[in-house]
A and B are shown apart, each in its own frame.
Chain A
Amino acid sequence: MSAPHEMTAGDGPAARDSGEPVRNVTVRKLLRALWRDKLMLFPLLFLVALMVAAVGADLLAPHDPFDQNLRSRNVPPMSSPTSETSSFPYLLGADPLGRDLFSRLIYGARVSLAVGLSSVLASGTLGILLGLMAGYHRGWLDDLVMRGVDVLMGIPGLLLALFILFLVGTGFWNLVIVFALTRWMIYARVTRGLTLSFREQPFVEGAQTIGCSDSRIIFRHILPNLASPILVLATLEIAIVILAEAGLSFLGMGIQPPAPTWGRMVAEGRDYITSAWWLITFPGLAILLTALSLNLTSAWLRMVSDPVQRWRWFMGRPESRPEGDTELATAYSEPQSSRTDIESSEPAHGPAANGDHLLEVIDLRVNFRTPDGLLNAVNGISYTLNRGQTLAILGESGSGKTVSAEAVMGILDSPPAFVTGGSVLFDGNDLLQVSPSRRRRLCGERIAMIFQDPLTALNPAYTVGSQIAGMFQEHRGTSKREATAKAVELMDRVRIPSARERVHDYPHQFSGGMRQRVMIAAAIALDPDLLIADEPTTALDVTVQAQIMELLAELQLETGMGLILITHDLGVVADVADSVAVMYAGKIVETGPIEEIYSRPAHPYTKGLLESAPRVDRKMDSLQQISGAPPNLRFIPSGCPFHPRCAYVVDRCTVEPPPLYEVRHDRSASCHRIEDVMNVN
C-alpha cells in the first residue's frame, strides 16, 4: 500500500539533512557542539558545581546546617560568626534560628538533586517501558496505557501530588513515588509515539524479516534510537520535578524538618520579608538557577541531537567560518565565467538586449549558508526562454534545478539561501534588482509557479476556492464574491468535475491529480506569461501524470505562455520540452534543442543519463551505468565537477573547469572532450 513516489522532494541541501532520523548524540559530538556554543559552559558548570556541593556537602559546608545559634538570628550576609565551632563568616547570612544560610543551601541542593534524579529515574523507567510495550504491541495494552496517559495529563499534577501526599504522608520515598506516578506519562507518551513511528520504519521491518525476536527489536533496534529524545526530555523533567518539590516544600508538604530544603527555606523566610530579605532571596535564586540551567541544557541537547533544531536556532546567523572545506568552497564560489568566449564577447546584456526573450537568466549563483558550512547550490547558470516555448531543466537531486527556479521566482528561503550573483531579466526588469513590491507584483501576476506535492503546497486550512480566489483579491482587489465565481470558472477550465459544488471543499478532500489541477487553476488565474512547474507530476501516478501533462500542454497552446519544466524524468522531458538544460552540481552542463540532445548528447553526463535509463519500449541486455553518486555540494570536485564519474576523464578535467562550449549555434556543452563524446555515438 505504500506510495511509490520518487523521493526527490526539493533538491535543496536542507531537504537531504531533514530526511535523516534524529542523529546520535556521541560524547565527541557534544564536545564539538560545546566548543561552538561556549555560553553553554555556564549552566553546565553550575550543574556540575551543584552536584559537587550535593555530594560533598559534609566537607564543603562551613557550618553545621542544624547548628542553631540564637545570638546570630537573622544576621545579614558576610557577618562574622558568633559560633564556637567555626570561625567562617556567614556568607549569606543566618536564618531565624541562627543557622548558617549558605550551609543550609548546600545541604538543600542534596535534597533537591536526590529527589529530582530519583524521581526522574523512577518515572522514566516506568514510562519508557510502558511506552515501548504500548507502542510496539499496540492492542489492549496500548489502549489502557493511553487512557491512563490521557486522564493523568488532564489532571493538574500539583493537585494530584497534594492529594496523594495527603493520603500517604510526606517523606523522601513518598515524594519519589508521587513524582513517578504523576510524571511517568510524559515519557510514556513520547516513547510510545516514537516507537509507533519507528515500528513503521523499514529498518525495524527489516529486522523482522531477518527473524529478530520482539525483545531484540525493542531493545536493540528501537530503544537506542530513543536515547537522544529521552535524554532531552529527562533533563527537562529534572527541572520540573525540582520546581514541584520546592513548591510542595513551600506548602509544607515536602520533606519534613529538620532536613533543609530550598522550598521550606523560602517559606520560613516569608515572615521576615521586611526585615531579612536574604532569607528568601538566596534559596529562591538557587531554585531558579538550577531550573534555568537544566532547561538551558535540555534545549541545547535538543539542538545538538536534532539537526533541524540546530538549523532553526541559528537561522539568520550565517556561520562565518565553515569547517574544513573553507578553501574549496570559496574557491568554487569565486566568480568565474562559465560561458564561452563567443558569448562573453557579446555586448553586455541589459534590458535592451533582452529582445524577444521572455526570460533571460544570466550567470545566476545561489549558495546556502548553513551551520555546517557553505553550500554552492547554483554556480553560474544562464538560459533564455521565449514565449510559448517549453524549456526543461533536467537534473538529479542536488543538481540545483529547484533552487535556481526558486531564485528566479524570488521564493528562496533566505536565510539560509542567498543569491550571490547574476541577473534575471523579465520584460525589461532585472528581477534581482527591482523593489520587493514590484517583484511581488511581477512574480504573482505574470510569472506563476506550481510545485511537486500538491497536498502540502496547498494550505490545508482554506478551501480550494478561496486559494484560487485569493489571486484576484490580492492582485486585482476583486470582491470575494466575484473572485469565488472566477475560481469556479477556473476550476471548470482545468476540468475539475462539478466545480460549483467543490469550490468550498478543502484540499484533503481531493485526490492528488485534482489537487494539482487546483494548483494549476490558481497559477493561471491572472493569465501569466510564464509558468514554472517544479516536478509537477513526480508525486502522481503515471496515468494521472499523463492527464496533467496534457492539461499543461493545452493551456500553453491556448495562452502562449512560456513553460519551465523542472524534472528528473527523461521521459517527461522527451515528451513535452522544446529545449533542455541539463544540470549537474549547480551548473548547466549541456543545453540545446531536445531532439538534438537526445539523439547526439555532447556531454558525458547527458549521454550517461540517456543510456542508463531503462526504457519502456525496449529491454536492454544490460543497462549502461554511471559509476559513483552525485556530489555533495559541500565538496564539489575540482575542475569539471563530473570528472570522478566520467568515462572520458583526462588529466585536464581534474584541474580545469570546462566552459560552456558552443557545439552549434543553438546548443552548447560544458566538456573538454565534446568531439570525442559525440563521435563515439
Chain B
Amino acid sequence: MARYVARRLIQSLLVLAVVLTLVFFAGRVIGNPAALILGPEARAEDVKTLEERFGYDKPAIEQFGRYARGVVSGDFGNSWWQRRPALPMALERIPATLQLAAVTMLFALPLAMILGSLAAWKPGSPIDKGVNVISLTGASAVDFWIGLMLILFFAVQLRLLPTSGSGSLKFIILPALTLSLRPLGRVAQVTRSAMLDQLSKPYIKTARAKGFRERRIVLGEALKNAFIPIITLSGDEAISTLNGAVVVETVFAWPGIGLLIVSAVTNRDLPLIEALVFVVAIMIIVTNLLVDLTYSYLDPRVRYG
C-alpha cells in the first residue's frame, strides 16, 4: 500500500509538471501576456512597452526557465492586479473554499446515499419518485439563479439569513445549500441505480435463501458493493464543487478560490491564474488519491502491489 501511494505521488508530480508547463505555454503562445493585461482595445505601442518591461519579448524558452525556477521555489511572480506575490494570495483562499466544500459534501453525501438506498429498496414507491424528482432537479439546477432566489427569499423577504459575505455559521447556510443541489441529486441517482444493480445480483438471492433479515441484505450485503460507483462519483462531485464554487462564491461573495478565479480572470491577471491552476491541481490530485485509497479498502478485487 505504501508503495502504491508512493507511485501515485510520483505520477501526480509528473502530471503537475505537465499541467504547469501547458499552462505556461498556453499563456505565452496562445495568448500574448501584454495584450491580455491591456485588453483587446490596447494600442500596439503600449503592448510593446509592457512586453519589454516584463521581459515578454525574450525567447519563450528563456522565460520558461525563469518561470520553472520560480515554480520550484513557490514563486509565481506578483499578481498584476494586487501587486503582491500570487501564490500566497491563492493559498489564503483555500480554507474558505474547503470549509464550503466540506459543509456541502457532509450535508449532501450522506443524505443522498440514504435517499438513494431507500429509493432502490422500494422501487416505484413515493420515496423513489421523490428521489427521482430530486435528482432531476439537481441535474438541472441553475446554481447562480437558485442562489439568488434563496437570497431573495430567505435574506430579502424573510430576513432570516445574511445575503452574502462570510463570518458566522449563518453565512455558510445558503451557499452550501445552493452548492449541494447538484451532488445531492447526482449521488442519490447513482446510489439508487447502483443499489438496484446490486439488489438484482444473484448473491442477494443467496442471502435471501439463507434467511437473512432484509436490513442485513440491504445494508450488509448490497451497500458494500454499491459503494464503489458511489465513491467514484463522490470524488468527481467533490472536484466539481470547484465548478460550482466559482459561481456560488460569486453570488454570495464568499471569499474562496472560486471568487478569486473570477477576479483573476476579469482582471486579466496571468501570474495569479498560474498560481491558482497550481493550487487547484493539487486539490484535485489529493482528492483523487483519497478516492483511490477508499477503493482498495472497499473492493477486495482491487489490490495494489
A interface residues (Cβ-Cβ under 8 A, vs B): 151, 153-159, 162-163, 165-169, 239, 243, 246-247, 250-253, 263, 266-267, 270, 273-274, 277, 280-281, 283-284, 287-288, 291-292, 294-296, 299, 312, 314-317, 406, 409-411, 413, 415, 440-445, 448-449, 451, 453, 456-463, 470-471, 474-475, 506, 508, 519, 522
On whether the beta carbons of B268 and A166 are closer than 8 Å, the reply is yes
- Nearest CB of chain B from residue A248's CB, rounded to whole Å: 9
Determine, out of B49-57, B72-80, B105-113, B117-125, the stretch whose residues face the partner at the interface: B117-125
- The one of B216, B221, B242, B300 that contacts A156, using a Cβ cutoff of 8 Å: B242
Q: Does B21 sit within 8 A of A, measured CB to CB?
A: no
On whether the beta carbons of A474 and B145 are closer than 8 Å, the reply is no
Q: Name 10 A/B residue pairs within 8 A (Cβ), A-sorted.
A: A267-B144, A291-B142, A317-B124, A406-B205, A443-B211, A444-B212, A457-B202, A457-B203, A459-B203, A508-B301
On whether the beta carbons of A280 and B280 are closer than 8 Å, the reply is no
- The one of A151, A158, A410 that contacts B15, using a Cβ cutoff of 8 Å: A151
On whether the beta carbons of A459 and B221 are closer than 8 Å, the reply is yes
On whether the beta carbons of A288 and B152 are closer than 8 Å, the reply is no
- Nearest CB of chain A from residue B222's CB, rounded to whole Å: 9
A461-B299 contact given A154-B239, A474-B216, CB 8 Å threshold: yes
A243-B142 contact given A411-B209, A440-B211, A506-B300, CB 8 Å threshold: yes
Contact with A along B167-211 (1 / 0, CB 8 A): 000000000000000000000000001001000111101111111
Cα of A522 to Cα of B209 in the assembled complex, Å? 11
Determine, out of B2-10, B26-34, B58-66, B83-91, the stretch whose residues face the partner at the interface: B26-34
Nearest B residue to A154, CB-CB: B284
On whether the beta carbons of A295 and B136 are closer than 8 Å, the reply is yes
**Cβ–Cβ < 8 Å partners of B242 in chain A:** 156, 158-159
On whether the beta carbons of B288 and A154 are closer than 8 Å, the reply is yes
- Nearest CB of chain B from residue A501's CB, rounded to whole Å: 16
On whether the beta carbons of A162 and B144 are closer than 8 Å, the reply is no
Q: A239-B140, A291-B142, A461-B225 are in contact. List 12 more A-B contacts (CB 8 A).
A: A151-B15, A159-B243, A159-B280, A168-B30, A251-B247, A312-B193, A316-B125, A444-B212, A451-B205, A459-B221, A460-B299, A461-B224
- Nearest CB of chain B from residue A225's CB, rounded to whole Å: 22
- The one of A163, A247, A444 that contacts B210, using a Cβ cutoff of 8 Å: A444
- Nearest CB of chain B from residue A429's CB, rounded to whole Å: 14
Cα of A474 to Cα of B136 in the assembled complex, Å? 39
On whether the beta carbons of A273 and B156 are closer than 8 Å, the reply is yes
Q: Does B230 sit within 8 A of A, measured CB to CB?
A: no
Cα of A159 to Cα of B144 in the assembled complex, Å? 15
Nearest A residue to B287, CB-CB: A154
A288-B140 contact given A151-B15, A273-B151, CB 8 Å threshold: yes
Q: Does B98 sit within 8 A of A, measured CB to CB?
A: no
**Cβ–Cβ < 8 Å partners of B208 in chain A:** 409-411
On whether the beta carbons of B211 and A475 are closer than 8 Å, the reply is yes
Q: Does B246 sit within 8 A of A, measured CB to CB?
A: yes
- Nearest CB of chain A from residue B238's CB, rounded to whole Å: 10
On whether the beta carbons of A461 and B298 are closer than 8 Å, the reply is yes
Contact with A along B20-42 (1 / 0, CB 8 A): 00010011001100001000100
**Cβ–Cβ < 8 Å partners of B240 in chain A:** 156
On whether the beta carbons of A162 and B247 are closer than 8 Å, the reply is no
- The one of B36, B145, B216, B299 that contacts A266, using a Cβ cutoff of 8 Å: B145
Q: Does B218 sit within 8 A of A, measured CB to CB?
A: no
A456-B262 contact given A239-B140, A441-B211, A444-B210, CB 8 Å threshold: no
On whether the beta carbons of A273 and B152 are closer than 8 Å, the reply is yes
Cα of A299 to Cα of B186 in the assembled complex, Å? 13
Cα of A624 to Cα of B103 in the assembled complex, Å? 72
**Cβ–Cβ < 8 Å partners of B142 in chain A:** 243, 246, 284, 287-288, 291
B: number of interface residues (CB 8 Å):
69
On whether the beta carbons of B202 and A295 are closer than 8 Å, the reply is no
On whether the beta carbons of A291 and B211 are closer than 8 Å, the reply is no
A251-B148 contact given A411-B209, A444-B212, A457-B203, CB 8 Å threshold: no
On whether the beta carbons of A440 and B213 are closer than 8 Å, the reply is yes
- The one of A159, A273, A506, A508 that contacts B261, using a Cβ cutoff of 8 Å: A159
On whether the beta carbons of A292 and B243 are closer than 8 Å, the reply is no
On whether the beta carbons of B145 and A456 are closer than 8 Å, the reply is no
- The one of B145, B243, B301 that contacts A284, using a Cβ cutoff of 8 Å: B145
Nearest B residue to A437, CB-CB: B213
A411-B273 contact given A239-B140, A445-B211, CB 8 Å threshold: no
Nearest B residue to A506, CB-CB: B300
On whether the beta carbons of B246 and A251 are closer than 8 Å, the reply is yes
On whether the beta carbons of B209 and A299 are closer than 8 Å, the reply is no
- Nearest CB of chain B from residue A339's CB, rounded to whole Å: 29
Cα of A247 to Cα of B206 in the assembled complex, Å? 49
A252-B280 contact given A273-B156, A299-B136, A411-B208, CB 8 Å threshold: no
Cα of A250 to Cα of B251 in the assembled complex, Å? 10
Nearest B residue to A439, CB-CB: B211
On whether the beta carbons of A474 and B213 are closer than 8 Å, the reply is yes
- Nearest CB of chain B from residue A210's CB, rounded to whole Å: 36
A292-B137 contact given A284-B142, A317-B124, CB 8 Å threshold: yes
**Cβ–Cβ < 8 Å partners of A451 in chain B:** 202, 205-206
On whether the beta carbons of B148 and A280 are closer than 8 Å, the reply is yes
Q: Does B293 sit within 8 A of A, measured CB to CB?
A: no
A413-B300 contact given A166-B273, A251-B246, A280-B145, CB 8 Å threshold: no
A162-B139 contact given A250-B144, A312-B196, A458-B203, CB 8 Å threshold: no
Nearest B residue to A441, CB-CB: B211
**Cβ–Cβ < 8 Å partners of B96 in chain A:** none
**Cβ–Cβ < 8 Å partners of A273 in chain B:** 148, 151-152, 156
- The one of A167, A409, A506 that contacts B209, using a Cβ cutoff of 8 Å: A409
Contact with A along B127-168 (1 / 0, CB 8 A): 010000000110111111110110110001000000000000
Q: Does B265 sit within 8 A of A, measured CB to CB?
A: yes
On whether the beta carbons of B206 and A474 are closer than 8 Å, the reply is no
Q: Does B234 sit within 8 A of A, measured CB to CB?
A: no
Interface centre among B137, B200, B225, B288 (most CB of A within 10 A): B200
The 9 closest A-B pairs by CB, nearest first: A444-B211, A316-B124, A284-B145, A291-B140, A158-B243, A167-B31, A449-B209, A411-B208, A292-B140
**Cβ–Cβ < 8 Å partners of A159 in chain B:** 242-243, 246, 261, 280
- Nearest CB of chain B from residue A310's CB, rounded to whole Å: 12
Contact with A along B239-265 (1 / 0, CB 8 A): 110110011001000000000011001
Cα of A250 to Cα of B210 in the assembled complex, Å? 57
Nearest B residue to A168, CB-CB: B30
- Nearest CB of chain A from residue B274's CB, rounded to whole Å: 10
**Cβ–Cβ < 8 Å partners of A252 in chain B:** 266
- Nearest CB of chain B from residue A426's CB, rounded to whole Å: 13
**Cβ–Cβ < 8 Å partners of B94 in chain A:** none
**Cβ–Cβ < 8 Å partners of A522 in chain B:** 206, 210
**Cβ–Cβ < 8 Å partners of A456 in chain B:** 201-203
Nearest A residue to B209, CB-CB: A449
